[in-house]
Amino acid sequence: MPTITRKSRAEISKMRSAGRIVAEVLALVEEELQPGITTAELDHLAERHIRAAKGVPSFLNYLGGRRYDARDPHAYPASTCISVDNEIVHGIPGVREIRAGQIVSVDVGVIYDGWHGDGARSFICGGDAAGTPEAVGLVQATRVALMAGIAAAMPGNRIGHISAAVEDVASAGGYGIVRQYVGHGIGTAMHEDPQVPNFRSRSNGIELAPGICLAIEPMLTLGSDATDTLADNWTVVTHDGSLSAHFEHTIAVTANGPEILTTA
């Protein structure tokens, strides 16, 4: 059985502070994203903002679980994950220049006073007018799927209600749902129980109750759900080369319903 830790109001307040920094970084990226900028430049902008806000990048030197080690060659080497077009998640920032019309998915994690916030958004470089109708539709549908999942995070519901809400949006649009990577609990560790699938499963999951904090993160594609991992051991791509989009919020379940913590 998963170990679920319900957070107190004071603990959720700290997560709200971490989430605010996440939201600020994503807004900064949206402002600075333009054709010709590199993914490394966006990563540097993000890290500077996180540290100026007295936060710590959650992803930098991450090995999984609660393990971090800057000396380990397998540790994640950047402060953000920036995935382009057919890259789904965990794209490592580098010297590659972003072109107009590309889908750029930016995943940001922040630790503030020992507590985590985690959020992601997909953007079209140059705005929707620069993207194909298919790319624009995919990005919009993934965002709608996220918000549908969040709306289902009511006390008394179960994890399966979130999963079903996300799946229904994706299926209605004919999009592929990435199954190998799912949402998760979050708190003093970036990844805690429970898992939050973006699709229906045999188990309906735990019952939601006030104090449960989750990172809900649908990843949709224009093709199949099959994935591959590149030689860098981090970047996950669609097996068929189709475009992908990714949205994520950290939320707290409250007596009155879900509260989005990754907001400015």
Phi then psi for 57, rounded to 5 degrees?
A: -65, 125
- In this structure, are residues 42 and 82 in contact, taking their beta carbons and an 8 Å threshold? yes
Looking at residue 66, its pLDDT comes to 82
Identify whether 1 is part of a domain: no
Identify whether 211 is part of a domain: yes
Residues 52-64 have pLDDT tens digits of 999 999 999 999 8
Average pLDDT, whole number, for the chain?
Answer: 97
Query: How many CB atoms lie under 10 A from the CB of residue 137?
Result: 17
Looking at residue 2, its pLDDT comes to 73
Which pTM does this prediction carry? 0.96
Domain that holds residue 123: 9-260
Beta-carbon contacts of residue 192 (< 8 Å; ≥ 6 apart): 5, 184, 185, 186
Cα–Cα distance measured from residue 26 to residue 106, given in angstroms and rounded to the nearest whole number: 7
Sign of CA dihedral 70, 103, 194, 179: negative
Looking at residue 219, its pLDDT comes to 99
CATH at residue 118:
3.90.230.10
- In this structure, are residues 116 and 188 in contact, taking their beta carbons and an 8 Å threshold? yes
Q: Which residues of the chain have pLDDT under 70?
A: 1
Looking at residue 1, its pLDDT comes to 61
Overall size of the chain counted in residues? 264
Residues 209-218 have pLDDT tens digits of 999 999 999 9
Q: Which helix (H) or strand (E) holds 43?
A: helix 39-52
Identify whether 136 is part of a domain: yes
Residues 164-193 have pLDDT tens digits of 999 999 999 999 999 999 999 999 999 999
User: In 3D, which of 239, 234, 214, 90 has the Cα closest to residue 146?
Assistant: 214
Query: How many CB atoms lie under 10 A from the CB of residue 9?
Result: 10
Q: How many CA atoms lie within 13 A of 202 on its CB side?
A: 0
Looking at residue 175, its pLDDT comes to 99
Cβ-in-10-Å burial (0-12, 13-18, 19+) of 61 comes to middle
Q: Computed over its alpha carbons, how large is the radius of gyration of the chain?
A: 17
3: three-class secondary structure by DSSP? coil
Q: Based on the structure, what is the number of domains in the chain? A: 1
User: In 3D, which of 181, 180, 242, 175 has the Cα closest to residue 217?
Assistant: 181
Identify whether 4 is part of a domain: no
How many Å from the N-terminal Cα to the C-terminal Cα in the chain? 35
Q: Which pair of structure tokens corresponds to residue 150? A: 């969040």
